[in-house]
Structure 1
């Protein structure tokens, strides 16, 4: 299973002429997850040819406007398009209070049905789960209660070697146990170890989304070993004092988080609008964590 991440918005609170506020789509086979929904998200979905009807699950990290102001517009458009589905929204509980009056004002019967799932803002929790993937929320450190999200593929069973089935005359009834990790005893009493009978499954894929947040070491244990880490980098080190005051991070701090969490790759975004060019962010982060990329709008990142 592969994950495909599309960046819709990479800027912080103030949009620029070429960077939108935070929004991303994580496409997992069978599911399409929208992560944050800043102003202009539906325009970016159009530009990137992502069908509105695929959006069934929306995750909102916190209630600063640049992370949810695009939500009512998106829901309204989905309704006008006649999308007939439940839309699950995982967000701080106050979000429903904020946008329900706008939903009530939409004329006619709603074709979509928003279903709100309040997040626990103080401790990690599983917020979504099916047979293939689970999504965890966890608290980060910001000026208002905020969570990050960890999207994690569930481990698969080992693959049994076909030649071993024939070589040891393994009955069909035993295959399930062997794939789950059991050894096999032959008719003459020999014990065949599982590692000889099987090939290990691929490592489960994982993606972590951490914004908005100051540098917060407790996050590292939760996202340990993640394949791709998106971590905010609102400022450069030259504005570290401002980052600390506003409870945001610098590019170097994002890289430090990737390093201590043993991430495979780092993606930085949520750039302050005061920076017109972004190459210095990548340069600063790569001094600490080499495998760093910039979150570029419209670009897809494959895990």
Structure 2
């Protein structure tokens, strides 16, 4: 099994990527929802638009109201004439329904690039970026580092960074990925920030891994990349932060990571459940609130795992 190789974003600059990419294309995709990232997306696109190595900028956007253009879309178009909005509410993929979720919309965006935009499967580097990164931490190095590693022959590049909180990463994902020992799973422990949403890969790579609908998307891609023996890079972006989530959202994310990890390891044959045990879709918790009263939580957090896009296109 391949080990993960480490890179620094500072190893690359715009000029070096222009030379490195040759006739390849670099597409940057920001994931947005509603109007919450409208101001942030404007600033980020302005920065990326000045990069010579970037060929196209896309905003993978999900509207709250299907019929109404939102401020995020308007701001993206104001930032650059090169910015194209992929309206995920309207992308129909043959093996998908109307389900919502980050992973679902990432997959819809890829489907659009291939079928609607006619992107070259073998000569396109796709960089996915979260739009909610605070402006003081975001820079062109996000694209340079991730795309640079892929252009050097890696199938998949994942961002790593220092983040003040990072609770799900520190207290759930990293301990979990160390809990099952197997030489084939060893690279999962080597990701410095396994849940980062900033990733890049060849378009071909992204069509060969499965996408989970919501909270499991990063974990699912990591596992498929590692067990598929792809060439993986971990790229240090330095310092990073975005809005912090409340405790309940953190619990839901944690459940999604654990559930995805277990389901995929069962499917790949690394663990086996017996005596009627099964992996649950339901997150339940009892707790005492700050007034000293008993409370309970219950959420159905089932999410779909979509087959690799190469089986659909």
Q: What TM-score comes out, normalization by structure 1 length?
A: 0.29
- Structure of higher CA gyration radius: 1
Q: Choose between structure 1 and 2: higher helix proportion.
A: 2
Q: Which structure has more RCO (C-alpha within 8 Å, separation ≥ 6)?
A: 2
Q: Choose between structure 1 and 2: higher strand proportion.
A: 1
Q: What TM-score comes out, normalization by structure 2 length?
A: 0.28
